Amino acid sequence: MFRRWFIKYILSPLLLIELLGGGGFTVAGEIPVRNNPQEPISITSNKMTIKSLEDKIIFEGEVFIKKGDLTIKADHAEVFMSESSSLLIDPSAQEKREVSRIETSGNVDIRQGEKHAKAEKGVYDQKKETITLTGDAEAWEKEYRVKGKVITLFIAENRSLVEGSQVIIHSGVSDLNLGKK
């Protein structure tokens, strides 16, 4: 009985902090390094469920994800964990878990600097540093706006790949409305 209580109320929250952030905290006034894979991921939501046996954490309701200057809002998110590759380098190291990917759904809204994208579903791959958007996917920045069946954002490379695209490039227009296909 005590063991179950200890795991649920003491160990699980501490484990979650270690899994999501790696124990790193940003000091007020510190400028985060852009595109740093080791940067902590902060996630807030109305409800969180940890599924330890599935290596998954589920966030529901007003999900807000932040990593450096990248923010993602959604109705639902599933965080998938994997073992750190540091165990292969140093077998004596303690087992460490890290985020491998985050699947978001429902009103997915992504922002990074002046870039903005939205879709019904989004998959963030931590290792590849990509976000793949599907379901009415669109992205815009300054004077262009693009819609596509699939939009893949390559965060570290500052580029995107759009499949089945429709693009508007216009100078001096503040509201780029693509309308429906």
Please report, for the chain, the start and end positions of each structural domain, with discontinuous segments joined by +: 39-169
Per-residue pLDDT reduced to its tens digit, 113-151:
888 999 999 999 988 999 999 999 999 887 788 999 999
What's the predicted TM-score (pTM) here? 0.68
Percent of the chain clearing pLDDT 70 (strictly above)? 65
For residue 166, list its beta bridge partners: 147
**Which residue in 87, 91, 144 sits closest to 115, CA to CA?**
144
Point out the least confidently predicted range of 23-27, 62-66, 74-78, 140-144.
Answer: 23-27
Q: Answer yes or no: are the C-beta atoms of 137 and 131 closer than 8 Å.
A: no
Q: What architecture is domain 39-169?
A: Sandwich (2.60)
> Distance (Å, rounded) from C-alpha 160 to C-alpha 180?
22
> Distance (Å, rounded) from C-alpha 22 to C-alpha 143?
38
pLDDT above 80 for 43: yes
